Structure 1
């Protein structure tokens, strides 16, 4: 069933804490390493990876040699980054990158975008045109050591996330305002059917990054809408929570109880007047939304 949302009422006000004062040109791809109580997020355009130790509040910005947009934890020492050239292992201690798989090496006009790990360890990630060219994006799965194209001709692939039991996958095409659902093999994380439209977004802004909570609600950042929307697995808009920045880009649950949400934002495409009207543009926040998440799965590099 496809649900079309009416423009929502004013989002509920929620407590928000400024995590990072630095403004990201294009903040995206937040991830949380529960073992280290450390959050990570990217400034895609400026080629930076931000590391925040939540217990102490210490934040470090790591320069990257390439544009990157998302990561997954491999183990205590390594991360798998989604970059403009493909997938790369990053050694956390040294920052050294090692190529794992090239992706779209013949397409200089595309870059990486959204990603999330399936409960079975398969890593879904996406590409898109650098200028959001229509149909230039693809969603891939990194499964059993191979990169597998799943869905092609997506303009701005976003909102990749999974039901807690791994039987459902979700993603959006921001350009079309459509959120999709697809039934998955819960072990492999690969599709069992073609995706169907779950929800059509109405009102201001567009569907951006998303994460599911422990109950299976889909929490989606609304770029240009200054809010997080929560959708049920049936496609109903059930909650809307205000965020401090207009161009909210992606959430992830953080903290020992996974009871707060880290939210990134961006100032990409804003002129001086728009930035002045949005004083928190590009900053990163912790928000209490009254929901609990769960630990993000680690990506599996080899065979299942």
Structure 2
């Protein structure tokens, strides 16, 4: 089980990896670099934006939903054009989008946070059937948004608390109870970042500052950790032909300049092949 470099481009804040199941292609973001990046078997490409972009879902073969600092957008991969789906804290200059993921009902959950991680400035929202509704407020750093494969549960975190929460969902995918603590990582000084759930219900979570992605069973029991040659791992995603590979973004943000040598792998995107069985990312239904 070896962690290899999947893409050598160095992101200041790599985030939001999405494996597009129809295109068989990975998309991800450099939030601070204001870029969407991609690569497939034959080519790599990136698009520049005029504001921070952080997370995506797929609408169809040629179209993504993209979360930016001010809105949720329909983005055309053919010509790079975009059109607004819904504003997102557009009148709040303190915040930007952060972690997000499509849910199994075709909705899209998106979290916000302050540019400087201002305490309680962010929130988590759900876009569903054309409406954007706030689910949870007073979030400092929204992260870990993902869903159990049996549709029973959503996970999320406020990284600043060191805790991963879970919340029961109703038949339409709305929270159906108060959130409860699933993982308390404070004793180990671990910082929950982005996460994804595999076919067995195991949660794979990047832990900022620890240089790893850790796996936890549905019971919350730790099962294994994958070492990554970058201190700030940010988010994993399953991809590859059979969804058996784990792709991992990372960041250079917060790394001392003296450590950011030409050989340093911080900010690159990594792959661990044949590690578990993922599930396809759901289509966003607008």
2:16 to 29, 33, 39: 29
Moved over 6 A (4+): none
Q: 2: CA distance between counterparts of 1:229 and 1:43?
A: 22
Deviations 1:192-232 (A, max 9, x none): 01101111113244110000000000000011101111112
Q: Does 1:257 align with 2:245?
A: no
Given that 1:245 and 1:278 are in contact with CA atoms closer than 8 Å, whether structure 2 keeps it comes out as no
Helix, strand or coil: the match of 1:126?
Answer: strand
Report the CA distance between 1:239 and its aligned residue.
Answer: 1.4
Q: Is 1:51 the equivalent of 2:35?
A: no
Unaligned runs of 5+ in 1: 1-13
Whole-angstrom distance in 1 between the partners of 2:105 and 2:246: 23
**Partner of residue 89, structure 1:** 74
What is the TM-score of this pair, normalised by structure 1?
0.91
The match for 2:252 among 256, 267, 270 is 267
C-alpha change, 1:223 and 1:289, in structure 2 (3 Å) is farther
1:189 to 173, 177, 202: 173
Map 1:1-304 onto structure 2 (within 5 A).
14-53=1-40, 55-56=41-42, 58-185=43-170, 187-201=171-185, 202-276=187-261, 279-288=264-273, 290-301=275-286
Contact 2:206 2:213 in 1 (8 A): yes
Using the alignment, how far apart are the partners of 2:180 and 2:156 within structure 1? 10
Aligned length: 285
In the aligned structure 2, how far is the partner of 1:116 from the partner of 1:140?
11
2:207, 2:262 → 1: CA distance? Answer: 18
RMSD: 1.4
User: CA offsets per residue over residues 133-162 of structure 1, 9 Å max, x none?
Assistant: 111110000011000000000111100000
**Displacement of 1:16:** 2.0
1-structure distance, mates of 2:262, 2:32: 22
Structure 2, gaps ≥5 residues long:
none
> 1:194 & 1:300 partners in 2: Cα distance?
26
Q: CA deviation at 1:238?
A: 1.7
